Amino acid sequence: MPSADPASVRPTIGGASVERAGDALRFAGALLRADVAALFKQATTRLEGVRRFDLTAVSRVDSAGVALLAELAERCGGVIIDGVPAGLAELRAAYRLTPALAFGTA
């Protein structure tokens, strides 16, 4: 599947972004509460065939960012996570999410 058209990658107010790259959704910036609604809207139009989330360009996540990723991962039927931004491991443990961001025993 081709990469997203660069013109369709719109940074949010806080500078976070999401784009499609092959079988991955590639996130960048900080995934924080203020940007989650915009990122969700952008990401849901790009979910078909996604198997990976590339978080290597994400600086940090808060609880809303983790909720975003978990919801999108569920809609994809499970994903592989590349990258561990600041806050992800702690929040994943607190919410008992698996390494693939599914609810269960972490």
Helix (H) or strand (E) holding 63: helix 63-76
- Paired with 28 in beta bridges are 17, 57
Fold topology of 14-94: Transcription Regulator spoIIAA (3.30.750)
Q: CA–CA separation, 92 vs 12, rounded Å?
A: 24
Opening angle at CA 46, ends 45 and 48, nearest 5:
110
Q: What pLDDT, on a 0 to 100 scale, did the predictor assign at position 103?
A: 86
Question: Would you say 24 and 54 are in contact if contact means Cβ atoms under 8 Å apart?
Answer: yes
24-49 burial, b at 16+ Cβ within 10 Å, e below that, comes to: bbbbbbbbbeebbebbeebbeebeee
What are 100's two structure tokens?
Answer: 């693939």
| CB proximity list for 83: less than 8 A, separation 6 or greater | 54, 55, 56, 57, 58
Per-residue pLDDT tens over the stretch 7-43:
355 566 678 999 999 999 999 999 999 999 999 999 9
Per-residue pLDDT tens over the stretch 58-88:
999 999 999 999 999 999 999 999 999 999 9
* Predicted structure pTM score: 0.86
Q: What pLDDT, on a 0 to 100 scale, did the predictor assign at position 18?
A: 96
4: pLDDT strictly greater than 50? no
Q: What pLDDT, on a 0 to 100 scale, did the predictor assign at position 55?
A: 98
